[in-house]
Structure 1
Amino acid sequence: MHFNRNFDFARSAKKFLIISAIITLLGIVATSVFGLNYGIDFSAGTSMDIKSTKTIEESKMDAFVDSQKIGEYTLTIATSDNRVSIRFKDALTQDQEKKFKTDYFAQLDPDASFEVNVVDPEIAKEQQRSALFGMSIACIGIVLYISIRFEWRFALAAVISLIYDAFFVIAVFSIFRLEVNLPFILAVLTIIGYSINDTVVIFDRIRENLRFAKLKNPSDIDDVVNKSIWQTLSRSINTVITVLIAAICLFIFGSVSIKLFSLAMIVGLASGAYSSIFIASQVWLYLKKKQPLKKIPAKAASNP
């Protein structure tokens, strides 16, 4: 893939950072107003997936669930494979679950199969803590890795871009009231992995180009960043497109249970491609320009 290399990434850094800051602020406002639509993994409740041998009409299924008088629920029907997915806000007791199945067999489909997952409030809270702990450990590990391999400016820039990626996906799910569950956390961690991979590729090229650059004024650093981004742009775009195709196929043709995972991947991959180029590299550029120019060649030379 070839591009017209007239676009100046470095000298447009301020514009992109302002746009990213505005998007982040809007996301913070949206998340504060709407909150997150936690699935049963984090808010307790019962998920019930039913594989039916007959086509079930939504109106008939709604009437049946209402007749059980269990409480608030959401209902999703995949007519292509006769699969019904029900999410109850409350955790069902064994008696309620047994009655539901018995009535379903008697009234709708005697050959249906059930997959039931019940999460009580204590388990939901523990899973929330574990998810936050896992994401925190991932970020700390990335900071340490980038700091050791490169320098603290690279590490700080990488973490800022990763926080943007994760928060962008969270904001989208908040605005559209999409369910946040364990597969969502897995998607965010996967997105972080892809994003940091793209970021490291660009950072590695910046470091290599710094070794041979003759830096006489700040504009020379801009040239290094521009050159490094253009040298890695084809590779980054090709990688993202390849994974996006797979994620889109999963979203279109996959089962109901992985659609939100696939959607989070699609949103996060697009955000990660943007942040590696327009946030991580530009934040590093801003920090590097704060360093006295006379020290830059020595610093670059000390990073083999």
Structure 2
Amino acid sequence: MFQILKPGDTIRFMKYAKPASFLSLFLVILAIGIIAVKGFNWGLDFTGGTLIEVGFEQPADLDQVRDVLTDNGFPGAIVQHFGSTKEVMARVAPLEGVKGEVIGQQILTALKTNIDQGVEMRRIEFVGPNVGAELAENGGLAIIVALACILLYVSMRFEWRLALGSVAALGHDVILTLGVFSLFQLEFDLTVLAAVLAVVGYSLNDTIVVFDRIRENFRRVRKGGPKEIVDISLTQTLSRTLITSGTTLFVLIALFLKGGAMIHGFATALLVGIFVGTYSSVYVASALAVALGISREHMIPVEIEKEGADQEPVV
């Protein structure tokens, strides 16, 4: 039976730290294996392709446009409005041996034949695969640099054991989120990459709040070992964590269900990342800091004795 916490009660989070750590390690290894075997379903932002902007005489139905493109040999085309409901932008994967101009003409012909004779070409661009590969490389470097800067920041503000715990939690969140996209072969585009970076920031914010309370309690609470202090801190910040994560998840669920195909991947990445990030703040960041031997002495600042402080004042 579940019991309602009374004032002063403490949830023993660290009691389950060891099995939770093994679970996290297993999931990370599994996610890395899935990524290595299945890879990612890269979107057109990374693979390259042709971008076409067309104008309709009447408001365009995006689902109808997608169906027409699929029936005419362009499956998986990304279609969206831009500017107004009469303006449509479509991005299609490159076809081997076919130039971008030819692809654009084929799409324009298909739209005129099946939807609107008055469709006009507004713009056509071709993005080569080399540009997409560069975006993928730069995106990976952005995540690595962000983690390195976070490690440096937390080390200076808190303590290196907490810094390693926070970076391990962020890496855990990123790898599991990427593993979900690889497992289900969800399309990975620039919006998903932005969501992954947002997960890093969100998870760090949650972890910093917990670490602030841990540092405060190490200095304030005189009884209890590191595990007890961490349990007290996690219990005290639990309501804030649940309220913040819960309200964020409500918004993301609405985006996931009603936001449309263009931000489906973005919402999915944030849903997975925030759920995993809330867990990792407890059983990765805090648990690893305890495992590394965090203690009260590490949280108390060293008092620097000023030169001449022990001398008698001269009258």
What's the TM-score once normalised by structure 1's chain length? 0.83
Distance between the aligned counterparts of 2:103 and 2:274, measured in 1?
A: 41
Residue 255 (structure 2) aligns with: 250
Residue 300 (structure 1) aligns with: 299
User: Higher helix proportion, which one?
Assistant: 1
Contact 2:181 2:188 in 1 (8 A): yes
* 1:137-176 matches, cutoff 5 A: 137-176=145-184
Distance between the aligned counterparts of 1:196 and 1:213, measured in 2?
A: 25
Name the SS for the 2:292 alignment partner: helix
Deviation of residue 13 (structure 1)?
A: 0.7
Residue 229 (structure 1) aligns with: 234
Contact 1:75 1:86 in 2 (8 A): yes
**Structure 1's 93 and 222: CA in aligned 2 closer, same or farther, altered over 3 A?**
same
**Structure 1's 240 and 3: CA in aligned 2 closer, same or farther, altered over 3 A?**
farther
The aligned amino acid for 1:285 is V
Contact 2:44 2:91 in 1 (8 A): no
Contact 1:214 1:297 in 2 (8 A): no
**Structure 1's 259 and 58: CA in aligned 2 closer, same or farther, altered over 3 A?**
closer
Name the SS for the 1:74 alignment partner: coil
Residue 313 (structure 2) aligns with: none
Contact 1:211 1:300 in 2 (8 A): yes
Matching residue within 82, 89, 109 for 2:116: 109
Residue 95 (structure 1) aligns with: 102
Distance between the aligned counterparts of 1:113 and 1:279, measured in 2?
A: 55
Asked if residue 17 in structure 1 is aligned to residue 21 in structure 2, the reply is yes
Deviation of residue 38 (structure 1)?
A: 0.8
Matching residue within 242, 246, 254 for 1:241: 246
The aligned amino acid for 1:24 is V
Matching residue within 258, 265, 284 for 2:289: 284
Deviations 1:90-117 (CA, angstroms, capped at 9, x unpaired): 4851233134213422343235577866
Deviation of residue 118 (structure 1)?
A: 3.3
Asked if residue 119 in structure 1 is aligned to residue 127 in structure 2, the reply is yes
Q: Which runs of 5+ in 1 are unaligned?
A: 67-71, 290-295
* 1:18-37 matches, cutoff 5 A: 18-37=22-41
Deviations 1:1-56 (CA, angstroms, capped at 9, x unpaired): x9535641112110110111111121122112211111121222235687863573
Asked if residue 39 in structure 1 is aligned to residue 47 in structure 2, the reply is no
Contact 2:50 2:103 in 1 (8 A): no
Residue 293 (structure 1) aligns with: none
Asked if residue 212 in structure 1 is aligned to residue 212 in structure 2, the reply is no
The aligned amino acid for 1:9 is F
Distance between the aligned counterparts of 2:38 and 2:196, measured in 1?
A: 20
Deviation of residue 204 (structure 1)?
A: 0.6
What's the TM-score once normalised by structure 2's chain length? 0.80
Contact 1:34 1:174 in 2 (8 A): yes
Matching residue within 270, 273, 290 for 2:275: 270
Asked if residue 260 in structure 1 is aligned to residue 265 in structure 2, the reply is yes
Distance between the aligned counterparts of 1:76 and 1:44, measured in 2?
A: 13
Name the SS for the 1:118 alignment partner: strand
Contact 1:44 1:90 in 2 (8 A): no
**Structure 1's 10 and 303: CA in aligned 2 closer, same or farther, altered over 3 A?**
farther
Deviation of residue 86 (structure 1)?
A: 5.7
Distance between the aligned counterparts of 2:249 and 2:300, measured in 1?
A: 38
Distance between the aligned counterparts of 1:98 and 1:57, measured in 2?
A: 15
The aligned amino acid for 1:269 is I
Contact 1:39 1:179 in 2 (8 A): yes
The aligned amino acid for 2:262 is S
**Structure 1's 49 and 175: CA in aligned 2 closer, same or farther, altered over 3 A?**
farther
For this pair of structures, how many residues does the alignment match?
286
**Structure 1's 113 and 183: CA in aligned 2 closer, same or farther, altered over 3 A?**
farther
Identity of aligned residues (%): 30
The aligned amino acid for 1:13 is A
The aligned amino acid for 1:128 is A
Deviations 1:269-288 (CA, angstroms, capped at 9, x unpaired): 10111111111110011012
The aligned amino acid for 2:24 is S
Distance between the aligned counterparts of 2:68 and 2:107, measured in 1?
A: 15
